[in-house]
Chains A and B, each alone.
Chain A
Amino acid sequence: MPGVNRRIPAGLVSAVVVLLIWQVVGSVGPLAGDSFATASEAIVALIGLFADSQFWVAVFETLQMAVIGFALSMVIAVPLGLLIGLSRFTYRSTKFTFDFFKVIPPIVLIPIAILVIGPSIAMGIALAVFANVFAVAIQTAYGIRDTDPTLLETMRCYRMNAFQQIRYARLPSAAAQIAVATRLAATASLIVAVVAGLVGGAPGLGRLAALYQSAGTADRTYAVVLTLGILGLVTSRLIVRLQRRAVFWSGR
């Protein structure tokens, strides 16, 4: 039914289905009760939070940690990755170490971060940077190394120098990889910013959710979770759009 598809986005259909299931599971069955809010309760609570300045401050703080953490990661990791990628030696010797750090979940660093930095905005930013910097750097370096050898040889035949090869072949080739890394880093920054509050006491939506939970207001806790879902969705949609424009040739 192409006519129907055009008017109702497929994503909306599944969202409605999920909300309905949530509503039913929260109303009947073993999970029903005070500690579990239904979809309608969460939505009502969320609308209530819109009038609460504490909520908006938390949204701002979370975004602040995520955005600054993300931006810092990129500013550090992209040039670092470019440098690492320029020689096969630095790439090979760095890759192992970076891959090692890459897989350490930032959450395990929270105890250390609390000791060293304290539960603050700075801590959220630091954790987001840690979460991303190694992965983005390695991905960037990979893009530089992975430049099509045919392209580079063609350039050498036309007597183009090393600088021109970097400028016109290696960097654009890395751009496609950087774009992928950007998308992952953006959502990871958001997640880490929230976890820093939830587990580490850093300000923002994470801490707010923890507060609501200990206060026994399950509906508000779920409202925060809903907010995070929406923020995450908007972020990744936005990045995908930018990505399509910035590396329009990739995947062709």
Chain B
Amino acid sequence: MTTAAISIRDVRMDYPTPDGVKHVLGGISYDVTEGHYVSIVGPSGVGKTTLLRLLTGLAQPTAGEIIVAGKRLSGAPEGLAVVLQDYTRSLMPWLTVERNIALPLRNEKISKANVRQRVKESLTEVGLEGSERAYPWQLSGGMQQRVSIARALAVRPRILVMDEPFASVDAQTRFDLEDLVLKVRADFGITTLMVTHDIDEATYLSDDVVVLYGKPATVSDIVSIDLAFPRSQVETRNDHRFAQMRTRIYEKVRGLS
């Protein structure tokens, strides 16, 4: 039996603005299956980042609730890791790569040697072995984003939340990073929620693609991507079912159907 790792129940979110209340999320309900990779897509400004902020406990919904591990969410859930779009602003320039990755491990009771070991493993996982002593600003954009991913992996997360994680890197790096998260998915089975603007990317990576649409936003479609794993950039993307699914998502995002 599959269980819900995260249960989003009729979540609404309003923002106060100078000209009245802005209803951004208008009753979102969705259960994230344990170990699934879920992408959230939708037009710009629809409320994707807002939803992620609620899921990470950075903000509280106006109404409704989010249940993680049987408990109503208030603050960041245990076992959460995040990767944000803006890697230059989410790594600390005054800390080396190693210390950046080790920072969230301070809250875990593990020995220094174990911390070092975990950092090393995570860096190897993202293909950056030996970069411990570098500073983030000495690395390329794609490498910095890998460090963010390594930091996320080092906490051995149960839930991984990513907001447009690959939006600011070049196309080649993007493909590499996509395949990296697919590998992570296969190795660790982390429940992952990712916001992306790239419908192909969402289709390629996900078990489920959730489409948000409207003002206020509601779930306009949930597309199950039943393409086999492991996936490959060439074969999966050339599968005719891939094309069908991405077309369906595209039309939903554009509000065409």
Q: Which residues of A contact B (CB under 8 A)?
A: 148, 150-151, 153-160, 164, 168-169, 172, 175, 247, 249-250, 252
Contact present for B89 and A169 (CB under 8 Å):
no
User: How many Å from the CB of A251 to the closest CB on chain B?
Assistant: 10
Q: Which 7 interchain pairs have the tightest Cβ spacing?
A: A158-B104, A249-B93, A252-B137, A150-B89, A157-B82, A172-B94, A154-B90
Known: A150-B89, A157-B56, A158-B81. A164 touches B76 (CB 8 A): no
B72 on the A face (CB < 8 A)? no
Option from B86, B106, B135 in Cβ contact (under 8 Å) with A249: B135
Give CA–CA (A150, B90) in the complex, Å.
6
Bound together, the chains give a CA A247 to CA B93 distance in angstroms of 10
Pick the residue among B84, B93, B94 that contacts A154 (CB under 8 A).
Answer: B84
Determine whether B155 belongs to the interface, using a CB cutoff of 8 Å to chain A: yes
Q: Which residues of A contact B103 (CB under 8 A)?
A: 155, 158, 160, 168
* Closest chain B CB from A248 CB (angstroms): 8
Within 8 A of A (CB), among B45-84: 56-58, 75-76, 78, 80-82, 84
Give chain B nearest CB distance to A208 CB in angstroms. Answer: 44
Q: Does B92 contact A (CB under 8 A)?
A: yes
Question: Across the interface, which residues of A come within 8 angstroms of B94, CB to CB?
Answer: 172, 175, 247, 249
Pairwise interchain contact A158-B80, C-beta atoms closer than 8 A: yes
Contact A159 B137 (CB under 8 A): no
Q: B182 at interface (Cβ–Cβ under 8 A)?
A: no
What is the CB-to-nearest-CB distance from B105 to chain A, in angstroms, rounded to a whole number? 9
Residue B107, interface by CB 8 Å? yes
Q: Is residue B202 contacting chain A, with contact meaning CB distance below 8 A?
A: no
A158 to B57, CA, bound (A): 11
Interchain CB contact (< 8 A) of A157 among B80, B86, B95, B135? B80
Q: Which residues of B are interface residues toward A (Cβ below 8 A)?
A: 56-58, 75-76, 78, 80-82, 84, 86, 89-90, 92-95, 103-104, 106-107, 135, 137, 155, 161
A148–B87 Cα gap in the complex (Å)? Answer: 12
Give A34 to B93 CA distance when docked, in angstroms: 58
Can you offer 30 A-B residue contacts whose CB atoms are under 8 A? A150-B90, A151-B89, A151-B90, A153-B58, A154-B84, A154-B90, A155-B103, A156-B56, A156-B57, A156-B75, A156-B76, A157-B56, A157-B57, A157-B58, A157-B80, A157-B81, A157-B82, A158-B76, A158-B81, A158-B155, A159-B75, A159-B78, A159-B104, A160-B104, A164-B106, A168-B103, A247-B94, A249-B94, A249-B135, A249-B137
Complex CA gap A151/B94 in Å reads 12
Chain B residues with Cβ under 8 A from A172's Cβ?
A: 92, 94
CB distance from A89 to the nearest CB of B (A): 20
Could you tell me if B92 and A168 are in contact, using CB atoms closer than 8 angstroms? Answer: yes
Chain A residues with CB under 8 Å of B104's CB are: 158-160
Residues of B within 8 A of A252 (CB): 93, 135, 137
Complex interface: chain B residues within 8 A of A158 (CB): 76, 80-82, 103-104, 107, 155
User: Which of A150, A154, A172, A252 has its CB near the most chain B CB atoms (within 10 A)?
Assistant: A154
B75, B94, B95, B155: residue with the most chain A Cβ atoms closer than 10 Å: B94
Task: Report yes or no: A148 in contact with B80, Cβ–Cβ below 8 A.
Answer: no
How far, in whole Å, are A157 and B155 apart by their CA atoms in the complex? 12
Question: Are the C-beta atoms of B82 and A154 separated by less than 8 Å?
Answer: yes
Given A168-B103, A249-B137, is A159 in contact with B80 using a C-beta cutoff of 8 Å? yes
Q: In whole angstroms, what is the CA distance A164 to B77 when docked?
A: 18
**Which residues of chain B come closer than 8 Å to A164, judged between CB atoms?**
106
Contact between A159 and B107, CB atoms less than 8 A apart: yes
Q: How far is A150 from B89 in the complex, measured between Cα atoms in Å?
A: 6
Closest to A161 in B: B107
Additional A-B contacts beyond A156-B56, A249-B137 (5; CB < 8 A): A148-B89, A158-B103, A158-B107, A159-B76, A159-B78
| Bound Cα distance A151, B91 (Å) | 7
B57 to chain A: which residues have CB within 8 Å? 156-157
Q: Which residues of B contact A175 (CB under 8 A)?
A: 94
CA–CA, A250 and B94, complex, Å: 8
Q: How far is the CB of A168 from chain B (nearest CB, A)?
A: 6
How distant is B245 from chain A, measured CB to nearest CB, in Å?
A: 31
Cα distance, A249 to B92, chains bound together (Å): 9
Q: Which residues of A contact B75 (CB under 8 A)?
A: 156, 159
**Which of chain B's residues have a CB closer than 8 A to the CB of A155?**
103
Tell me how far the C-beta of B212 lies from the nearest C-beta in chain A, rounded to whole angstroms: 21
With A and B bound together, what is the CA distance between A9 and B76 in angstroms?
56
* Nearest-neighbor residue (CB-CB) of B89 within chain A: A150
Residues of B close to A157: CB separation below 8 A: 56-58, 76, 80-82, 161
Shortest CB–CB separation between residue B135 and chain A, in angstroms?
7
Residues of A within 8 A of B80 (CB): 157-159
